Copies of this chain bind each other. A is one copy, B any other.
Amino acid sequence: MTKYQLSEKTISTKPVFTGKVISLQIDTVELPDGSRATREIIRHPGAVAVLAVKEGRLLLVDQFRQAMGRCELEIPAGKLEKGEDPLEAARRELQEETGYSCGKIMLLHSFYTSPGFADEIIHLYLAEELTAGEMALDEDEFLEVIEASFEEVQQFIAEGRIADAKTILAAYIWQLQLSQQPEHGQK
């Protein structure tokens, strides 16, 4: 089977909702066999997330997540502003949410979070050469910064306090870095 034969053709798009953050549309598509189906699609502006380790401790933010109805520990992250460069957004979110600015920053991965129903993409950066400073939260944003050792991060994952894909992914990247740089060992 070739790629061509897997493609779906968009027949129509019906806008259903446009919100502050997301919008929802229903697409009618023609399937490879010529039949039709509908797809519920969420449009999202995209986001950035930052893997930042300060003296052997991962920077995490504790914040309430209404979708889950509870607090979660996640790496610093936030939505892209309109037209914003993802790298600048990553610097901005790191500084706003944790107070830290960074001397070096590089893209690790850009990934879709929920390809079955949403186009949200997260650009995950590695930030290094961290310098402490002042936080600058949005007015509807309340969070607490936690700096966690590798063992604490593993414990948070085991307990479910860390329970989102980007943060677990960042923890694996950190673990792999540590395993490849034994001189910086796991503290």
Near B by CB (< 8 A), chain A positions 104-160 give 109-120, 122, 139-140, 142-144, 157, 160
On whether the beta carbons of B7 and A64 are closer than 8 Å, the reply is yes
On whether the beta carbons of B179 and A176 are closer than 8 Å, the reply is yes
In the assembled complex, A102 has its CB within 8 A of some CB on chain B:
no
Chain B residues closer than 8 Å to A94, beta-carbon distance: none
A side interface size, CB within 8 A:
73
On whether the beta carbons of A6 and B144 are closer than 8 Å, the reply is yes
Closest CB in chain B relative to A63 CB, distance in Å: 6
With A5-B142, A8-B64, A113-B164 in contact, is A38–B17 under 8 Å at CB?
A: no
Near B by CB (< 8 A), chain A positions 1-59 give 1, 3, 5-8, 10, 16-17, 19-22, 24, 26-27, 29, 31-33, 35, 37-42, 44, 47
11 example contacts (A-B, Cβ-Cβ < 8 A) are as follows: A6-B62, A6-B64, A42-B67, A42-B117, A65-B115, A67-B115, A72-B112, A114-B114, A114-B118, A118-B118, A175-B176
User: Assuming A7-B71, A176-B179, what are 20 further A-B pairs, CB within 8 angstroms?
Assistant: A3-B71, A5-B142, A6-B71, A16-B24, A17-B24, A21-B40, A22-B40, A31-B140, A35-B139, A39-B66, A41-B66, A42-B42, A67-B117, A68-B119, A109-B168, A110-B163, A111-B165, A112-B164, A122-B165, A169-B169
